[in-house]
C-alpha cells in the first residue's frame, strides 16, 4: 500500500460514483480516503443521478469505513449518519500528512471565498462546486477534486490523489487532469 490519500467528493448516491471511489482506491493503492461530503442524497439543486442507488452506495462506503475520514456536505442529514458507519457530521476536519497540514471542508461552510484562519502552507480541501481546482491563494493551497458522479461546467467525473508530489486530479479513466505541487 502506498502512502497516498484518495480525495473524493459529491457522490450524491450515484452507484457509479461509489464504484469509481473503489476503482481509484485499488488503482492507486491508497491507504486512506478523504471524503468531502454529499455521500448519499442528490440535493434539491441537482438532477437525480441516472444510477441513483443510495443503499448500494451505503454498502460500498461502509465496506471501507476504516479507511475513510469524512466531513459533512450540505446534503448530509442526521439520517445519513444513522446508516453510514463512519462520521459524516463535522463541518471540517484537520489532519497531517508527511508533516503538512490538511484542512478538509465540504465548501458550504468554509470554502475558497470564506476561509478559516490557517497557517501558510496548509492544503485546504473542499468539494461542493463539482469543479476540480488547484491553486494558491494567500499562502494556502486550495484544492477541489471535482465530483465522482455529477461534474459541472463540462468537467469530467474526477477524484484526486495527495502524495509526496502534491495534489493531482484524475479523470474516471485515471488520466491526469490537473496537478499542483506542494507549497
| Domain spans in the chain, listed from the N-terminal domain onward | 5-180
User: What's the confidence (pLDDT) of residue 45?
Assistant: 81
Q: For residue 167, what is the enclosing H or E element?
A: strand 166-171
Instruction: Give yes or no for a contact between 126 and 140, defined as CB atoms under 8 angstroms apart.
Output: no
User: What's the confidence (pLDDT) of residue 156?
Assistant: 98
Reduced DSSP (H G I as helix, E B as strand, rest coil) percent helix, strand, coil of the chain, to 5: 15, 30, 50
Q: What is the rounded CA–CA span in Å between residue 112 and residue 47?
A: 25
User: What's the confidence (pLDDT) of residue 2?
Assistant: 85
User: What's the confidence (pLDDT) of residue 141?
Assistant: 97
User: What's the confidence (pLDDT) of residue 183?
Assistant: 79
How are beta strands 123-125 and 133-137 bridged, if at all?
Answer: unpaired
User: What's the confidence (pLDDT) of residue 58?
Assistant: 98
Residues contacting 63, CB < 8 A, separation 6+: none
Q: For residue 77, what is the enclosing H or E element?
A: none
User: What's the confidence (pLDDT) of residue 47?
Assistant: 83
The CATH class, in words, for 5-180 is: alpha beta
Residues of the chain whose pLDDT is less than 50?
Answer: none
Amino acid at each position: 500500500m502506498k502512502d497516498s490519500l484518495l480525495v473524493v467528493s459529491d457522490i450524491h448516491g450515484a452507484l457509479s460514483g461509489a464504484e469509481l471511489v473503489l476503482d481509484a482506491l485499488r488503482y492507486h493503492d491508497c491507504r486512506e480516503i478523504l471524503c468531502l461530503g454529499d455521500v448519499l442524497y442528490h440535493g434539491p439543486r441537482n438532477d437525480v443521478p441516472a444510477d441513483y442507488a443510495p443503499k448500494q452506495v451505503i454498502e460500498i462506503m461502509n465496506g471501507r469505513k476504516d479507511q475513510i475520514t469524512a466531513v459533512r456536505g450540505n446534503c448530509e442529514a442526521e439520517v445519513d449518519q444513522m446508516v453510514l458507519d463512519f462520521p459524516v457530521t463535522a463541518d471540517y476536519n484537520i489532519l497531517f500528512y508527511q508533516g503538512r497540514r490538511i484542512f478538509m471542508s465540504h465548501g458550504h461552510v468554509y470554502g475558497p471565498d470564506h476561509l478559516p484562519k490557517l497557517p501558510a502552507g496548509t492544503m485546504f480541501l473542499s468539494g461542493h462546486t463539482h469543479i476540480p481546482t488547484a491553486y494558491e491563494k494567500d499562502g494556502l493551497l486550495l484544492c477541489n477534486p471535482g465530483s465522482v458522479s455529477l461534474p459541472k461546467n463540462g468537467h469530467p467525473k474526477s477524484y484526486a490523489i495527495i502524495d509526496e508530489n502534491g495534489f493531482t486530479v484524475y479523470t474516471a479513466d485515471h488520466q491526469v487532469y490537473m496537478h499542483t505541487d506542494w507549497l
